[in-house]
Amino acid sequence: MVEHSIPLLELLKEEEGPILVASHENPDADTLGSALALYLFLKKKGKRVVVGCKDKVPHFLDFLPGAEEVIRLPVEEVFNLAIVVDASGFYRVNAEVKAFKKVRIDHHIGGDFYGEQDYIDPEAPSTTALIYRLLCAWDSSAIDEDIANNLYAGLATDTGFFKYSNTNAETFRIAKELVELGAKPHWTYVNFAERESINKMKLISKVLETLTLHEEGLVAGIIILDRFFRETGCEYADSEGLVNYPRSIEGVEVAYALIENREEGLWKVSLRSKGRVDVAKIAQSLGGGGHKYASGCKIRAEDYRGALDELLSAVREGLYVEGLIKQAVSQTA
Ligand SMILES: [Mn+2]
């Protein structure tokens, strides 16, 4: 592959360490796959490196090669270099990171910048695609099966297993090369799709009871209360991906999941768009961020009604801007 010079590459080659590769909190496969792939590669290159996350690796990601080596953040250590992957800034780690140099590798629009060595490309289908480019430019012969599987996991899940609008010829080319390097598509799929617990099914059942349509069916969403986790023996990480249920309804343009986080006293919002509405802008108006089709934010509110009101008025504004509704005030009782 022809590659323009990547300033980060020179920094990494010279870096003595210690290096921290950090994923964002509530990790998904792209952030953890990126962190693990980069960590495993740097280790092979003889670097002093650790991989960290604020949260325990959730069940649905515990099959990723190297997952057992992830340390919990924060730690006391002061790193020479800290790299945050698949996040719009270190604030998304949600744990203190002490480092002399900070770098971000990401495919989100906007966000925090730490210097010219940041490696950001909003066009990339996944952050693992960026990590792959970086590692190829360094030494593709050092990309082994474990590294390839981590990279493939992020690429596959961030594209909805090659279904979302960010899937193009380049996505398949990267996937093909990763398979040639040892990534196993079927094994990856089985690990993501066929390892659900009965508790998770019970959670889905409770959550679907909350399914609500708004704005004459243009908006649909679910509410995940903290007690649902306790009642079903699930944990917060089990809420990952549930927003795809309201999204799957015909006629829905914007889907949301409103998730209670009692520990932090706030509501986490996941937003999805089918294409006509830019949910990154909606999330930004609420202090969050993300992509045009998938974004998130946090809302501080006493109860779900307060959080939902705030969310829906921002969503209405997004629908109004795209001409999907005539006025940015509520049309449903
Ligand atoms: Mn991503």
Least trusted range by pLDDT, from 179-183, 253-257, 263-267: 263-267
326 C-alpha to center of ligand 1: Å?
34
200 C-alpha to center of ligand 1: Å?
23
43 C-alpha to center of ligand 1: Å?
23
280 C-alpha to center of ligand 1: Å?
14
The DSSP secondary-structure symbol of 58 reads P
Which H or E run includes 128? Answer: helix 127-139
145 C-alpha to center of ligand 1: Å?
21
Q: Phi and psi of 49, rounded to 5°?
A: -145, 145
216 C-alpha to center of ligand 1: Å?
31
Q: Residue 173 above 70 pLDDT?
A: yes
299 C-alpha to center of ligand 1: Å?
22
Q: How far apart are CA 71 and CA 57, in angstroms?
A: 9
154 C-alpha to center of ligand 1: Å?
7
Average pLDDT, the chain: 94
Residue 10: CB atoms within 10 A of its CB come to 11
Residue 2 has a pLDDT of 44
Least trusted range by pLDDT, from 11-15, 58-62, 328-332: 328-332
331 C-alpha to center of ligand 1: Å?
34
288 C-alpha to center of ligand 1: Å?
15
- pLDDT interval class at 333 (50, 70, 90): very low
Mean pLDDT of 247-266: 95
68 C-alpha to center of ligand 1: Å?
21
* Long-range CB contacts for residues 228-231, cutoff 8 Å, separation at least 24: 228/203, 229/203, 231/206
Residue 330 has a pLDDT of 60
284-309 confidence digits (pLDDT tens): 999 998 889 999 999 999 899 999 99
Tell me how far CA of residue 76 lies from CA of 68, 174, 303, in angstroms.
20, 37, 36
104 C-alpha to center of ligand 1: Å?
13
Q: How far apart are CA 60 and CA 70, in angstroms?
A: 15
Over its C-alpha atoms, the chain yields an Rg (Å, rounded) of 20
CATH match of 198-321 with 3.40.50.10260: no
328 C-alpha to center of ligand 1: Å?
31
DSSP string, 273-293: E-SSS-HHHHHHHTT-EE-SS
155 C-alpha to center of ligand 1: Å?
8
85 C-alpha to center of ligand 1: Å?
9
| pTM recorded for the entire structure | 0.86
Residue 109 has a pLDDT of 83
127 C-alpha to center of ligand 1: Å?
5
89-110 confidence digits (pLDDT tens): 999 999 999 999 999 999 988 8
Residue 1 has a pLDDT of 42
Q: Residue 264 above 90 pLDDT?
A: no
Q: What is the CATH number that goes with domain 7-193?
A: 3.90.1640.10
- pLDDT interval class at 165 (50, 70, 90): confident
131 C-alpha to center of ligand 1: Å?
11
| Percent of the chain at pLDDT exceeding 90 | 89
Q: How far apart are CA 117 and CA 105, in angstroms?
A: 9
Residue 332 has a pLDDT of 53
Sign of dihedral through CA atoms 114, 119, 124, 126?
Answer: negative
181-232 confidence digits (pLDDT tens): 999 999 999 999 999 999 999 999 999 999 999 999 999 999 999 999 999 9
DSSP string, 68-86: GGPEESP-SPEEEEEEEES
Tell me how far CA of residue 163 lies from CA of 112, 166, 228, 311, in angstroms.
29, 8, 30, 27
Q: Residue 4 above 70 pLDDT?
A: no
- The domain limits of the chain are 7-193, 198-321
Q: How far apart are CA 168 and CA 192, in angstroms?
A: 22
126 C-alpha to center of ligand 1: Å?
5
Mean pLDDT of 131-136: 98
Q: How far apart are CA 214 and CA 193, in angstroms?
A: 30
61-95 confidence digits (pLDDT tens): 999 999 999 999 999 999 999 999 999 999 999 99
